[in-house]
Protein backbone atom coordinates (compact mmCIF):
# COMPACT_ATOMS: atom_id res chain seq x y z
CA UNK A 1 0.00 0.00 0.00
CA UNK A 2 1.57 3.28 -1.04
CA UNK A 3 1.89 6.17 1.37
CA UNK A 4 -0.83 8.25 -0.32
CA UNK A 5 -3.42 5.48 0.13
CA UNK A 6 -2.24 4.86 3.68
CA UNK A 7 -2.66 8.54 4.60
CA UNK A 8 -6.13 8.58 3.03
CA UNK A 9 -7.09 5.45 5.02
CA UNK A 10 -5.79 7.02 8.27
CA UNK A 11 -7.81 10.16 7.52
CA UNK A 12 -10.98 8.08 6.99
CA UNK A 13 -10.41 6.24 10.28
CA UNK A 14 -9.59 9.43 12.19
CA UNK A 15 -12.19 10.08 14.88
CA UNK A 16 -13.49 6.50 14.78
CA UNK A 17 -12.79 3.61 17.13
CA UNK A 18 -10.47 2.02 14.55
CA UNK A 19 -6.79 2.56 13.70
CA UNK A 20 -4.18 1.17 11.30
CA UNK A 21 -1.99 -1.34 13.11
CA UNK A 22 0.29 -2.56 10.30
CA UNK A 23 0.65 -2.31 6.54
CA UNK A 24 2.21 -4.30 3.75
CA UNK A 25 2.63 -3.63 0.05
CA UNK A 26 -0.87 -5.01 -0.64
CA UNK A 27 -2.90 -4.46 2.53
CA UNK A 28 -3.43 -2.72 5.84
CA UNK A 29 -4.34 -4.37 9.14
CA UNK A 30 -7.01 -2.37 10.97
CA UNK A 31 -7.72 -2.90 14.67
CA UNK A 32 -10.07 -1.59 17.30
CA UNK A 33 -8.39 1.19 19.32
CA UNK A 34 -7.61 0.48 22.98
CA UNK A 35 -9.71 3.16 24.71
CA UNK A 36 -7.65 2.69 27.89
CA UNK A 37 -4.26 3.40 26.32
CA UNK A 38 -2.62 6.24 28.29
CA UNK A 39 -5.72 6.77 30.47
CA UNK A 40 -4.99 7.52 34.15
CA UNK A 41 -8.50 8.24 35.47
CA UNK A 42 -11.81 6.42 35.13
CA UNK A 43 -15.47 7.24 35.71
CA UNK A 44 -17.99 4.81 37.16
CA UNK A 45 -20.80 3.77 34.81
CA UNK A 46 -23.29 3.60 37.71
CA UNK A 47 -22.47 6.40 40.12
CA UNK A 48 -21.12 9.83 39.32
CA UNK A 49 -17.57 9.39 40.60
CA UNK A 50 -14.12 9.56 39.05
CA UNK A 51 -11.06 7.73 40.41
CA UNK A 52 -7.37 7.38 39.61
CA UNK A 53 -6.97 4.06 37.79
CA UNK A 54 -4.41 2.79 40.31
CA UNK A 55 -7.21 2.87 42.95
CA UNK A 56 -9.50 0.58 40.91
CA UNK A 57 -9.35 -3.18 40.38
CA UNK A 58 -8.01 -4.15 36.93
CA UNK A 59 -10.93 -6.58 36.51
CA UNK A 60 -13.51 -3.83 37.09
CA UNK A 61 -11.96 -1.31 34.68
CA UNK A 62 -13.61 -2.49 31.46
CA UNK A 63 -16.98 -3.53 32.82
CA UNK A 64 -17.73 -0.85 35.43
CA UNK A 65 -15.78 2.21 34.28
CA UNK A 66 -15.22 4.46 31.28
CA UNK A 67 -12.09 6.56 30.63
CA UNK A 68 -11.94 10.01 32.21
CA UNK A 69 -9.44 12.83 32.66
CA UNK A 70 -7.34 14.41 35.39
CA UNK A 71 -9.22 17.69 34.90
CA UNK A 72 -12.59 16.00 35.55
CA UNK A 73 -11.17 14.30 38.67
CA UNK A 74 -9.76 17.58 40.05
CA UNK A 75 -13.09 19.34 39.37
CA UNK A 76 -14.84 16.56 41.32
CA UNK A 77 -12.42 17.05 44.25
CA UNK A 78 -12.97 20.84 44.21
CA UNK A 79 -16.76 20.37 44.24
CA UNK A 80 -16.47 17.94 47.17
CA UNK A 81 -14.21 20.42 49.04
CA UNK A 82 -16.79 23.17 48.55
CA UNK A 83 -19.51 20.80 49.79
CA UNK A 84 -17.47 19.96 52.91
CA UNK A 85 -16.12 23.39 53.79
CA UNK A 86 -18.13 26.00 51.89
CA UNK A 87 -16.20 29.12 50.97
CA UNK A 88 -12.84 28.93 52.75
CA UNK A 89 -12.27 32.22 54.56
CA UNK A 90 -9.45 34.02 56.30
CA UNK A 91 -8.46 32.32 59.59
CA UNK A 92 -10.25 29.02 58.79
CA UNK A 93 -8.20 26.27 60.44
CA UNK A 94 -7.81 22.67 59.20
CA UNK A 95 -6.49 19.39 60.56
CA UNK A 96 -4.86 18.02 57.40
CA UNK A 97 -4.85 14.34 56.29
CA UNK A 98 -1.10 14.14 57.00
CA UNK A 99 -1.65 15.13 60.66
CA UNK A 100 -0.57 18.77 60.42
CA UNK A 101 -2.72 21.75 61.38
CA UNK A 102 -2.78 24.75 59.05
CA UNK A 103 -4.66 28.05 58.98
CA UNK A 104 -5.73 29.85 55.82
CA UNK A 105 -4.55 33.44 55.76
CA UNK A 106 -5.74 35.62 52.91
CA UNK A 107 -2.81 38.04 53.11
CA UNK A 108 -0.07 35.41 52.81
CA UNK A 109 -1.82 32.86 50.62
CA UNK A 110 -1.64 34.48 47.20
CA UNK A 111 1.88 33.15 46.56
CA UNK A 112 0.85 29.64 45.42
CA UNK A 113 -1.88 28.77 42.90
CA UNK A 114 -5.36 28.79 44.46
CA UNK A 115 -5.91 25.09 43.66
CA UNK A 116 -3.03 22.70 43.10
CA UNK A 117 -3.37 18.98 42.42
CA UNK A 118 -0.27 16.77 42.79
CA UNK A 119 -1.06 13.69 40.72
CA UNK A 120 1.72 11.32 41.86
CA UNK A 121 0.70 11.90 45.52
CA UNK A 122 -3.07 12.24 44.86
CA UNK A 123 -3.12 15.48 46.88
CA UNK A 124 -5.31 18.57 46.50
CA UNK A 125 -4.15 21.87 48.00
CA UNK A 126 -6.05 25.11 48.51
CA UNK A 127 -3.10 27.51 48.50
CA UNK A 128 -0.82 25.85 51.09
CA UNK A 129 -3.52 23.85 52.89
CA UNK A 130 -3.63 20.12 52.15
CA UNK A 131 -7.37 19.42 51.86
CA UNK A 132 -7.27 15.92 50.32
CA UNK A 133 -4.78 13.06 50.16
CA UNK A 134 -5.42 9.51 48.90
CA UNK A 135 -9.10 9.38 49.86
CA UNK A 136 -8.68 11.28 53.15
CA UNK A 137 -10.11 14.78 53.67
CA UNK A 138 -8.93 17.50 56.03
CA UNK A 139 -11.16 18.32 58.97
CA UNK A 140 -12.21 21.96 59.28
CA UNK A 141 -11.71 22.98 62.89
CA UNK A 142 -14.18 25.25 64.67
CA UNK A 143 -13.36 28.92 64.49
CA UNK A 144 -11.53 30.14 67.56
CA UNK A 145 -13.34 32.89 69.44
CA UNK A 146 -11.20 35.99 69.67
CA UNK A 147 -11.59 38.80 72.18
CA UNK A 148 -9.32 41.83 71.79
CA UNK A 149 -8.60 44.48 74.40
CA UNK A 150 -9.75 47.90 73.21
CA UNK A 151 -8.65 50.13 76.06
CA UNK A 152 -9.83 51.06 79.48
CA UNK A 153 -9.42 53.32 82.46
CA UNK A 154 -8.19 51.81 85.73
CA UNK A 155 -9.37 54.80 87.80
CA UNK A 156 -12.85 54.68 86.23
CA UNK A 157 -12.77 50.87 86.69
CA UNK A 158 -13.77 50.27 83.08
CA UNK A 159 -12.22 48.02 80.43
CA UNK A 160 -13.35 47.61 76.83
CA UNK A 161 -13.14 44.62 74.49
CA UNK A 162 -13.84 43.98 70.80
CA UNK A 163 -15.48 40.74 69.64
CA UNK A 164 -17.83 39.62 66.87
CA UNK A 165 -21.59 38.91 66.89
CA UNK A 166 -21.10 35.16 67.32
CA UNK A 167 -19.10 35.84 70.49
CA UNK A 168 -21.82 38.22 71.70
CA UNK A 169 -24.47 35.50 71.26
CA UNK A 170 -22.34 32.97 73.15
CA UNK A 171 -21.73 35.47 75.97
CA UNK A 172 -25.47 36.22 76.22
CA UNK A 173 -26.14 32.47 76.53
CA UNK A 174 -23.53 32.14 79.31
CA UNK A 175 -24.77 35.24 81.11
CA UNK A 176 -23.13 38.46 82.19
CA UNK A 177 -22.69 37.50 85.90
CA UNK A 178 -20.75 34.30 85.07
CA UNK A 179 -18.49 36.09 82.58
CA UNK A 180 -17.93 38.96 85.03
CA UNK A 181 -17.05 36.53 87.84
CA UNK A 182 -14.61 34.69 85.55
CA UNK A 183 -12.87 37.92 84.50
CA UNK A 184 -12.74 39.11 88.13
CA UNK A 185 -11.17 35.81 89.25
CA UNK A 186 -8.60 35.88 86.44
CA UNK A 187 -7.65 39.50 87.25
CA UNK A 188 -7.47 38.71 90.97
CA UNK A 189 -5.10 35.74 90.34
CA UNK A 190 -2.96 37.88 88.03
CA UNK A 191 -2.70 40.76 90.50
CA UNK A 192 -1.82 38.36 93.33
CA UNK A 193 0.99 36.84 91.20
CA UNK A 194 -0.78 33.46 91.20
CA UNK A 195 -0.64 33.01 87.42
CA UNK A 196 2.37 31.17 85.94
pLDDT band at 58 (very low <50, low <70, confident <90, very high): low
Q: What is the pLDDT of residue 140?
A: 94
**H/E element holding 169?**
helix 165-174
Q: Residues 63-116: pLDDT tens digits?
A: 788 889 999 999 999 999 999 999 988 889 999 999 998 888 877 666 666 999
CA distances from 19 to 1, 15, 39, 82, 177 (A): 16, 9, 17, 42, 82
What pTM was computed for the model? 0.63
Tell me which long-range contacts 59-66 makes (C-beta under 8 A, separation of at least 24): 61/36, 62/36, 66/35, 66/42
Amino acid sequence: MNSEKLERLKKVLSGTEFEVEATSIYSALIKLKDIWEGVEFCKSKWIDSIHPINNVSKIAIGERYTPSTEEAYVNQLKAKAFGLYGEIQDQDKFFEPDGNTDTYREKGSKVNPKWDYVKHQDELFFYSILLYKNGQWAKKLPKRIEVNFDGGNVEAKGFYFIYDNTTTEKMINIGCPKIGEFLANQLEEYLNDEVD
